[in-house]
């Protein structure tokens, strides 16, 4: 099977290790991975801040970059949700503004092909044990868009539970938002910081050595807060855990 | 004592008010304790019903259908209320509603009224309007009483005094009850039973004296002209039955076509708001009845921006709201910022989408409300009428920064983008420009990679300070993924 990786701009720029982990993991599972270099950003920062028109070129770019692939695998719940939930809205609104059905058509063409990484593993490949080894105490924070917009449910947990050596510890208040929220983090910095500090303290109280999510943008906030509070808990993307084996430990 | 509680007018934009609230440790503790308690109870109450998703969908569908034919149902309601001995008034805005109610109270010759807890009258500032006319409005809901005695503002739809703990409530009662009527006992402690008893005795005098009652309504049934109030304390039942004159101020979106529709909402509302299977008191009345209850009944139907909201295809779903406040109780932003930061009678997520539609986005505070959310979606998940609050928030953000079509007092118009977003607009457009050109994006990535040891991780200048005030930045990697990918691809190709 051949799939396209939509890595997302945040991962490409700041978390290339996550991208390398996705490639390692999928190739180990017998999947051929392409990284169409025309890809960039899903347009979520623009859209969620109110600049819908500024997100439109990126909708077109996404559709063009991933044309012809049956599966577009996204290691980010938030960016996958942007495509699946908001691209159709952008299309509908453009049509309502009398600009025709082009964007709606593009949205329709990419929505059914866009899958978040854990969805791809569990639903498309049908695996939960990916042969990973990660001998650490880990707590899992379900990030909001994966949890509520995509409905990832138990998929990430089932994958983590099958990792050898990994001790999964409950995160109290796990379903509460970490406070990142894109531009919310700077527009309402005080509230965002308060939410982040509460999340970081909950993470620290678990005694885990790593906090795992399916979204590195949220991790940037959680990890940045942990670091500021002097914690040594590592923020880690689920792909990096799943890519790790006894022979080739990731990191 | 003016008899009026404070006013939301002239409040700072949300981020500034929230910043102060976040620093208030007592407020944070009060809110955290209260919201988490109700949140958990609601989840348990909702989990008891296997058909919750169907009830939720039915509630949304009933509201949508009713709103589509609102003109029809309102006229039907007016006919039935009139036929049952009531008098119906139509108020286009807050000022008109206040004028109507003030005149009606003056006609009775009374200088004092008792009130059932009502969001509509909070929205229009009725108590303040009555006070200007020399009429004292006595709130009889326990939490509203605490707010009124404390010369405070409500901070929650269901529990307006949620920001107060019992020690603070004791002090307010001990200090201020005497000025409004029967004093609190000298020995009053902060034991809940004692506080409730002090309120009961204080309020009982007002109930027995009052000749005029003022209420809102949770529902209005068009087919019979029946109004419905659901409550927990019984104060509403007193206000609705004891006075000679009853005046109800109700938003036009509160109409439902038939009694059968109540079947849905009388299940979803109590479970969503107080986490009860059924609320203790459900009062229903149809016009007036000889020898039973008020002899005169006035219904004031309030628009105040609702028709304009209805004209917006995305925003109109906010009118489904049944004021349960489940969205407030799960909202992580509300939990930290508190209700006052939202600057209106409607705080929390629902307020963030309702206020900028009812009042418009011209004011600085109102324009800041759609941004008072991390878009986590917890509000949508619990909403018993499935209002997609994040969708409306983003839609209203767009109205703020892009401008666009709106309806103001029935006239379709285009509003211009709000001021104060020029730098942000330029930055996000520049981002799109760069992100739509992989070459430019890559140049930026490489520049960051080369200068990464020079980039501060703890103290960004300018707008970046908002990030680094509480968070370290991640280390910028030596090379972006796409460079690694390209090297790897070349290597495999043997070039």
DSSP B341-376: GG-SSS-HHHHHHHHHHHS-S-SHHHHHGGGS----
Tokens of A27: 């190739």
Beta bridge partners of A115: A73
Q: d(Cα B157, Cα B153) in Å, to the nearest integer?
A: 11
Q: Find the length of chain A.
A: 251
Chain A nearest-CA distance from B254, in A, is 29
B39 interfaces chain A, CB cutoff of 8 Å:
no
Identify the residue whose tokens are 């990419």: A110
Residue A19 has pLDDT above 50, yes or no: yes
B332 contacts on A by Cβ (under 8 Å): 176-177, 179, 195
pLDDT in tens, B69-82: 999 999 999 999 99
A45 interfaces chain B, CB cutoff of 8 Å:
yes
Q: What one-character-per-residue DSSP string does A40-67 give?
A: ---SHHHHHHT-HHHHHHHHHHHHHHTT
Domain positions in chain B are: 1-420, 438-493
B429 contacts on A by Cβ (under 8 Å): 51, 54
> What does the pLDDT read at residue B193?
97
Q: d(Cα B276, Cα A39) in Å, to the nearest integer?
A: 51
Chain B nearest-CA distance from A14, in A, is 6
Low-confidence ranges of chain B (pLDDT < 70): 1-7, 492-495
Do A13 and B448 lie within an 8 Å CB cutoff?
A: yes
Q: What is the mean pLDDT of residues A77-87?
A: 98
Tokens of B7: 């006013």
CB of A144 closer than 8 Å to CB of A242: no
Chain B nearest-CA distance from A158, in A, is 23
Residue B411: CB atoms within 10 A of its CB come to 9
Measured between CA atoms, the residue of chain B closest to residue A17 is B481
Q: d(Cα A241, Cα A129) in Å, to the nearest integer?
A: 12
Q: d(Cα A183, Cα A48) in Å, to the nearest integer?
A: 8
A44 contacts on B by Cβ (under 8 Å): none
Q: d(Cα B397, Cα B386) in Å, to the nearest integer?
A: 20
Compute the radius of gyration of chain B from its Cα atoms: 26
B373 interfaces chain A, CB cutoff of 8 Å:
yes
Q: Is B211 buried (19+), middle (13-18) or exposed (0-12) by CB count in 10 A?
A: middle
Do A194 and B22 lie within an 8 Å CB cutoff?
A: yes
Q: What is the mean pLDDT of residues A124-144?
A: 98
pLDDT in tens, A200-230: 999 999 999 999 999 999 999 999 999 999 9
Q: What is the CATH code for B1-420?
A: 3.40.50.10420
Q: Which of B347, B427, B446, B471 to mutate to test binding with chain A, by most A CBs within 10 Å of its CB?
A: B471
pLDDT in tens, A180-200: 999 999 999 999 999 999 999
Q: Which of A35, A50, A94, A97 to mutate to test binding with chain B, by most B CBs within 10 Å of its CB?
A: A50
Phi and psi torsions of A154, nearest 5°: -85, 0
Do A37 and B486 lie within an 8 Å CB cutoff?
A: yes
Identify the residue whose tokens are 């330029």: B426
Q: d(Cα B30, Cα A223) in Å, to the nearest integer?
A: 28
ipTM above 0.95, yes or no: yes
CB of A86 closer than 8 Å to CB of A121: no
A189 interfaces chain B, CB cutoff of 8 Å:
yes
Nearest partner of A132 among A251, A19, A232, A235, judged by Cα: A251
Cβ within 8 Å of A, B 393-432: 394, 397-402, 424-425, 428-429, 431-432
> What does the pLDDT read at residue B438?
82
Of A7, A45, A186, the CB nearest to B467: A186
Q: Identify the three-state secondary structure at position A198.
A: helix
Nearest partner of A180 among A166, A193, A167, judged by Cα: A193
A7 contacts on B by Cβ (under 8 Å): 481
Q: d(Cα A117, Cα A77) in Å, to the nearest integer?
A: 8
Identify the residue whose tokens are 């909202």: B331
Residue A18: CB atoms within 10 A of its CB come to 27
CB of B341 closer than 8 Å to CB of B17: yes
Q: Identify the three-state secondary structure at position A153.
A: coil
Q: Identify the three-state secondary structure at position B338.
A: coil
Which run of H or of E encompasses A2? strand A2-5
Sorted by sequence, the CB contacts under 8 Å of residue A45 that are 6+ apart come out as A182, A183, B428, B431
Beta bridge partners of B88: B299
Mean pLDDT (chain A, rounded) = 97
Q: Identify the three-state secondary structure at position A87.
A: helix
Q: What one-character-per-residue DSSP string does B401-419 give?
A: HH-EEEEETTEEEEEPPPT
Compute the radius of gyration of chain A from its Cα atoms: 18
Phi and psi torsions of B249, nearest 5°: -105, 115
Chain A nearest-CA distance from B198, in A, is 37
pLDDT in tens, A154-170: 999 999 999 999 999 99
Q: d(Cα B401, Cα A215) in Å, to the nearest integer?
A: 27
Please, what are the domains in chain A? 2-124 (3.40.50), 137-243 (3.40.50)
CB of B385 closer than 8 Å to CB of B63: yes
Of B333, B400, B474, the CB nearest to A50: B400
> What does the pLDDT read at residue B5?
43
Do A48 and B477 lie within an 8 Å CB cutoff?
A: no
Helices B25-47, B259-273: crossing angle, 10 deg rounding: 130
A87 interfaces chain B, CB cutoff of 8 Å:
no
Identify the residue whose tokens are 């108590």: B127
> What does the pLDDT read at residue A93?
97
Nearest partner of A191 among B468, B20, B127, B94, judged by Cα: B20
Q: d(Cα A206, Cα A133) in Å, to the nearest integer?
A: 21
> What does the pLDDT read at residue B3?
36
CA distances from B450 to B71, B469, B479 (A): 65, 25, 8
Q: d(Cα B219, Cα B82) in Å, to the nearest integer?
A: 17
pLDDT range class, residue A52, cuts 50, 70, 90: very high
B336 contacts on A by Cβ (under 8 Å): 191, 194-195
Of A46, A144, A147, the CB nearest to B431: A46
Do B485 and A37 lie within an 8 Å CB cutoff?
A: yes
A223 interfaces chain B, CB cutoff of 8 Å:
yes
B336 interfaces chain A, CB cutoff of 8 Å:
yes
- CB burial of B246-272 (b: ≥16 within 10 Å; e: otherwise) equals bbbbbbbbbbbbeeebbebbbbbbbbb
Q: Identify the three-state secondary structure at position B250.
A: strand
Of B15, B376, B464, the CB nearest to A188: B15
Q: d(Cα B227, Cα B25) in Å, to the nearest integer?
A: 42
> What does the pLDDT read at residue B492?
58
Nearest partner of A35 among B434, B488, B441, B445, judged by Cα: B488
CA distances from B467 to A179, A188, A220 (A): 12, 10, 11
């Amino acid at each position: 099977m051949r799939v396209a990786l939509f890595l997302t701009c945040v991962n490409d720029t700041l978390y290339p290790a996550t991208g390398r982990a996705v490639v390692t993991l999928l190739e180990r599972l017998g999947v051929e991975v392409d990284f169409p270099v025309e890809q960039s950003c899903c347009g979520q920062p623009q859209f969620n801040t109110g600049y819908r028109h500024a997100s439109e070129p990126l909708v077109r770019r996404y559709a063009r970059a991933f044309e012809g692939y049956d599966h577009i695998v996204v290691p980010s719940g938030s960016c996958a949700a942007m495509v699946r939930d908001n691209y159709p809205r952008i299309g509908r609104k453009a049509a309502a503004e009398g600009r025709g059905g082009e964007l709606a058509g593009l949205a329709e063409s990419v929505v059914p092909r866009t899958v978040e990484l854990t969805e791809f593993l569990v639903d498309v490949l049908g695996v939960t044990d990916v042969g990973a080894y990660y001998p650490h105490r880990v707590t899992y924070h379900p990030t909001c868009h994966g949890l509520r917009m995509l409905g990832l449910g138990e998929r990430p947990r089932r994958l983590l539970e099958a990792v050898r050596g990994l001790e999964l510890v409950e995160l109290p208040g796990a379903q509460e938002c970490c406070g990142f929220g894109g531009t919310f983090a700077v527009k309402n910095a005080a509230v965002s910081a308060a939410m982040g500090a509460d999340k970081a303290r909950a993470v620290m109280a678990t005694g885990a050595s790593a906090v795992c999510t399916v979204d590195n943008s949220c991790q940037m906030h959680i990890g940045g807060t942990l670091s500021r509070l002097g914690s040594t808990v590592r923020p880690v993307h689920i792909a990096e855990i799943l890519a790790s084996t006894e022979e080739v430990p990731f990191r | 004592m003016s008899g009026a509680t404070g006013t939301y007018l002239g409040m700072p934009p949300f981020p500034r008010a929230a910043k102060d609230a976040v620093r208030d440790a007592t407020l944070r503790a009060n809110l955290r304790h209260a919201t988490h308690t109700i949140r958990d109870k609601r989840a348990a109450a909702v989990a008891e019903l296997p058909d919750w998703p169907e009830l939720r969908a039915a509630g949304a569908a009933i509201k949508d259908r009713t709103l589509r034919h609102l003109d029809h149902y309102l006229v039907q309601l007016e006919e039935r209320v009139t036929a049952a001995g009531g008098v119906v008034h139509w108020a286009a805005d807050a000022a008109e509603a206040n004028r109507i109610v003030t005149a009606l109270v003056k006609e009775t010759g009374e200088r004092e009224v008792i009130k059932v807890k009502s969001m509509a009258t909070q929205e229009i500032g009725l108590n303040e309007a009555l006070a200007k006319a020399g009429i004292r409005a006595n709130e009889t809901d326990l939490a509203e009483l605490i707010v009124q005695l404390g010369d405070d503002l409500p901070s929650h739809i269901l529990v307006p005094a949620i920001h107060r703990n019992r020690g603070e409530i004791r002090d307010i009662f001990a200090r201020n009850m005497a000025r409004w009527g029967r004093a609190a006992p000298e020995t009053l402690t902060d034991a809940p039973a004692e506080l409730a008893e002090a309120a009961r005795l204080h309020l009982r005098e007002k109930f027995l004296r009052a000749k005029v009652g003022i209420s809102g309504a949770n529902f209005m049934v068009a087919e019979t002209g029946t109004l419905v109030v659901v409550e927990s304390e019984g104060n509403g039942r007193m206000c609705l039955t004891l006075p000679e004159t009853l005046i109800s101020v109700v938003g036009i979106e509160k109409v439902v076509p038939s009694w059968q529709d109540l079947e849905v909402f009388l299940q979803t509302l109590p479970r969503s708001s107080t986490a009860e299977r059924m609320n203790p008191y459900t009062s229903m009345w149809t016009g007036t009845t000889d020898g039973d209850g008020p002899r005169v009944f006035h219904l004031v139907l309030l628009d105040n921006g609702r028709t304009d909201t209805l004209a917006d295809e995305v925003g109109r779903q906010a009118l489904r709201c049944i004021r349960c406040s489940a969205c407030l109780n799960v909202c992580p932003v509300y939990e930290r910022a508190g209700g006052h930061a939202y600057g209106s009678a409607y705080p929390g997520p629902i307020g963030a989408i309702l206020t900028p539609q009812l009042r418009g986005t011209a004011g600085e505070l109102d324009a800041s409300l759609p941004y008072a959310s991390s878009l986590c979606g917890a509000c949508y998940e619990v909403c018993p009428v499935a209002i997609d609050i994040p969708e409306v928030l983003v839609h209203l953000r767009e109205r703020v920064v892009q401008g666009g079509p709106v309806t103001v007092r029935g006239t379709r118009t285009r509003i211009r983008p709000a001021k104060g977003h020029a730098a942000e607009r330029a930055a996000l457009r520049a981002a799109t420009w760069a992100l739509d050109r992989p070459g430019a994006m890559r140049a930026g990535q490489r520049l960051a990679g080369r200068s990464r040891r020079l980039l501060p991780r703890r103290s960004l200048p300018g707008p970046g300070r908002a990030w680094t005030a509480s968070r370290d930045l991640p280390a910028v990697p030596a090379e972006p993924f796409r460079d690694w990918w390209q090297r790897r691809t070349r290597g495999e190709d043997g070039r």
